[in-house]
Structure 1
Amino acid sequence: MSSTRSGSPLYGGRRVRRVRNSAAVLAAAAVLVTSACSGAAPDKDADRAAAYKITDKTPAAAGNVDSFTWSVYAEPTTIDYAYSFDFPPNQILANVCESLLRWNPDLTTSPGLASSYANPTPTTWVYQIRPGVHFHDGTVLTADDVVASLGRNLDPGTGSVWANQYKNVKSIARTGPMEVTVTLTKPDSTFNKYLAAGPGTVESAATLAKSGKDYGNPQTGVNCTGPFSFGSWTSGQSLTLKRFDGYWN
């Protein structure tokens, strides 16, 4: 599995993710600062018995786990992809929502929710939408969902943080049962690459219409296609995700 955002992807069939607020981070930092500023001589035995350690990587998955928890440095104001440009919301959305394309470890792009794509003219990009993909509510991904999701970035009423990445987009239209065509006003060497990140996020058109201005808040959450689904969000405390057993990948 690969991530489409800056948050770290998760592996190993893990069941539930709970994201704590920054108070936990501050508490941990306070312990570290207190230890570092102590005037006592270093105690090697105590160091060996420390309840925590810092590593540069996590071990390979050895099987399923029932749950796990980690902290983010701040609580997101929303998990609406149109306003999610910082680490806290993207760390969450990286595991919940997906984009048309995906970033690879070598910084190239490859198909994601678009099974393939073509650039038949300098100002045209055509995306074939992957069949058999389900949103977390069980509905099936269609070209209409892609048009609605990408189109929000063109709508001044949305005020998307990704509007600049769409500055050369003239139109986004369904051109086949599972095909979407983006027409540009002029050639843009970066547009297609951005669809591997936040600007390419796909959400259910029905969910967007139903939630309206409340989309992405603690009461409504999101309804995407990723390996984890939105569970609950207790403001000021935690945000819980659940493993999505119907994940296509």
Structure 2
Amino acid sequence: MTARGGRILRRRAGIAVIAVLALVTTACGGTGNSDSRGSVTSVSMLTTVLPPVLDPRQSSSLASGSLLIALEPLVRYDGGEFKPLLAAAIENPDPKTYVLTIRDGVEFWDGSPFTAEDAAFSIDLHTGDDSESVNAALFGQVKSVEVTGDREVTVSLSAPDPQFTAVLAQIGMVSESFYGKNGKRVGTQDVLNMGTGPYEFAAFTPTRELTLDANDGYWGENKPELKTVKLGVVGDDAARMNALQSRQYDGMLNVPLPQVASIRGLPGMRIADSADLSVYKFNLNVETEPWDDIHLRRAFQKALNRQAIIKGALGGNADPAPTVVPEPVMAGLAGKEATRTAYAKLGDDIVFDLDAARSEIAKSSSPGGVSSEVLVTGSDPTLALIVQTAAQDLAKIGIELKVREVDDQTYYSAVYFEHETDGVSIDMFSGSAPDASNLPMYVLNGANAVTTGGSGTNISDYVNGDVDALLGDSRKLAVDDPKRGALLLEALTLGQADVPYVPIASPKVFIAGRNGLDVPSLSTFWWMTQWPEALVAP
């Protein structure tokens, strides 16, 4: 596949961070220290992914948890809702216009003021066809960003986007003058970046380690509780367990599902869980032979034993997924009864049935069977376990899956960015906002297929005009309008009939921490919150 300008660049670094992220904290009793500020003064964290540069253009979703405590957003996710932060107020005079009032008195770490010009510049980094941002798809509806007053920025959209406030919570604000001075060196280990947050960048080894120190001159009323926050990467299960057992690290967010039981058994460790807006799924690329044959895709779908995968590979720590959106999330929008009815039908369509699978493969262009290599990454060991478990039943109908573990860069490039696989891929796709439309917009929208020049999050390169129209119509409605739910349910049903993906399970988020860390205070969208303060809250 040929690279198309900046699109490959922005795909290359960004969707990697949609993968599972593990996070570890160090508190009192480990390497943390104590003083008059409280019982915990430093927190060390282990994560499976850190961004290659400290730039909001190169980090999204879970990995942004390392940036948003330093490069603060205009809006903060707090207590289950989005609240103004660097924006003092947000007005929405019509569905396609957002007027942002920029908070007065905010300063960057170097003492310079945060201005409306900085806010507009920060948003514009992610807009336009030439943007190199991995978050560009989130800002696809932005038509213009203008400074319309001394402390006012107006964002005009080409079409309504009910998720736009959530979008603003996912990107940090930066200094326009700092970018102008440092150019392409911004975010590197020598230059770092300039923000307004309670923690500022101190040291950085790309993709391996990040240290942040308290900003004692923080503009906000709530001063930083910790002196130091440190993030590091430990790549395999054994090393991760050793780090926890040695008390080098005292907790973990997004615990890999196969390790939940082992980590729960560590002395002094407790684990909290919550529902996740994520799905493990197989992607069947409809543009790649032989998977362009719907009968072969249906055979794969019918031969997938979800219960065996959940029990074995996922350790029972997930629920069967009849589609890509977890049922509780959809029920909150579409209503419990409508969702229950639709999801029951979707579940019936993907029941494990080897006889039906054999019938479908006999009708396909590959009645004698097929063999496909499936790439996995060690960052999420669950992927290999899922493929290995699934392969046992798929082999009974002549579909051979061969696992090949590769490094993160190779995996994300092949699976998400360039779609250069044998046509079958496995991933765990996480939503970037707590909204029922979030995952369908990424996974089913034809605009996100590589074949249409999109972001690549539509891994199956699936394009269906009727599905796209339903998704488009849903964006025109208010966030809490149940009609949005009805449109999304119809889109999910139409899409699943074509089998571009095969949903497996919706995992839970497990958060582990030693005594002294308030792990139950964090949930699936911890990365959009001021999570260090929540962990050590009295």
Give the TM-score normalised by structure 1: 0.69
Q: Distance in 2 between matches of 1:115 and 1:225?
A: 15
**Pair 1:241-2:212 in alignment:** yes
Contact 1:103 1:197 (C-alpha < 8 Å) held by counterparts: no
Give yes or no for the alignment of 1:215 onto 2:186: yes
What are the Cα deviations for residues 131-188 of structure 1, in whole angstroms up to 9, with x where unaligned?
Answer: 0001111111000000110001114443211111111111000000000000111222
- Cα separation, 1, equivalents of 2:187 and 2:100: 26
Query: How far apart, CA to CA, are the structure 1 residues paired with 2:135 and 2:207?
Result: 27
Counterparts of residues 54-203 of structure 1 (less than 5 Å): 63=38, 67-85=42-60, 87=62, 89-106=63-80, 108-198=81-171, 201-203=172-174
Cα distance in 1 for partners of 2:162, 2:207 equals 41
Is the 8 Å Cα contact of residues 72 and 86 (structure 2) preserved in structure 1?
Answer: yes
**In the comparison of the two structures, how many residue pairs are matched?**
190
Q: Give SS of 1:248's match.
A: coil
Separation of aligned partners in 1, 2:47 and 2:128: 30
Task: Sort the Cα spacing of 1:86 and 1:180 in 2 relative to 1 into closer, same or farther, 3 A.
Answer: closer
SS of the aligned residue for 1:202 comes to coil
1:65 CA displacement: 5.2
Distance (Å, rounded) in 1 between the aligned partners of 2:51 and 2:142: 29
**Any conservation in 1 of the 2:128–2:140 contact (CA below 8 Å)?**
no
SS in 1 for 2:125: helix
Give yes or no for contact 2:49–2:207 (8 Å, CA) kept in 1. no
The answer to whether the Cα contact below 8 Å between 2:192 and 2:201 also exists between their aligned partners in 1 is yes
Q: Indicate the residue corresponding to 1:8 in structure 2.
A: none
Tell me, what secondary structure is at the counterpart of 1:241?
strand
Separation in 1, partners of 2:141, 2:190: 35
Compared with structure 1, are the counterparts of its residues 169 and 76 closer, same or farther at alpha carbon in structure 2 (3 Å cutoff)? Answer: closer
Instruction: Give the C-alpha shift of residue 75 in structure 1.
Output: 4.1
**Percent of aligned pairs with the same amino acid:** 34
| Partners of 1:236 and 1:110 in 2: CA distance | 30
Cα distance in 2, alignment partners of residues 85 and 223 from structure 1: 18
Secondary structure at 1:154 match in 2: coil
Contact 1:135/1:223 (CA < 8 Å) preserved in 2?
A: yes
How far apart, CA to CA, are the structure 2 residues paired with 1:242 and 1:62? 15
Over 3 Å counting, the alpha-carbon distance change for 1:214 and 1:157 in structure 2 is farther
Of structures 1 and 2, the one scoring higher in RCO (CA 8 A, sep 6+) is: 1
1:31-73 Cα shifts (integer Å, max 9, x gaps): xxxxxxxxxxxxxxxxxxxx98xxxxxxxx9617554423222
**SS of residue paired to 1:149:** helix
Greater Rg by CA: 2
Structure 2 gaps, min length 5: 1-21, 31-35, 221-538
Change (3 A) 1:235 1:150: closer
CA shift digits 1:99-152 (9 cap, x unpaired):
11111222x111110000101122211000000001111111000000110001
Q: Distance in 2 between matches of 1:182 and 1:203?
A: 17
Gaps of 5+ in 1: 1-21, 26-50, 53-60
Aligned-partner residue type, residue 97 of structure 1: L
Q: What is the distance in 1 between the residues matched to 2:65 and 2:186?
A: 18
Question: Would you tell me which structure has more helix in proportion to its own residues?
Answer: 2
Query: 1:144 is paired with a residue of what secondary structure?
Result: helix
Cα distance change on mapping 1:181 and 1:93 into 2, 3 Å: same
- Compared CA separation, residues 111 and 86, structure 1 to 2 (3 A): closer
For residues 85 and 236 of structure 1, the distance between their equivalents in structure 2, rounded to whole angstroms, comes to 14
Amino acid paired to 2:199 = F
Q: Is the 8 A contact 2:106 2:219 kept in 1?
A: yes
> CA RMSD, aligned part only?
2.5
The CA deviation at 1:236 is: 7.1
> Contact (CA 8 Å) 2:61, 2:170: kept in 1 or not?
no
Distance between the aligned counterparts of 1:236 and 1:172, measured in 2?
32
TM superposition outliers: structure 1 runs of 4+ over 3 Å: 64-68, 155-158, 234-238
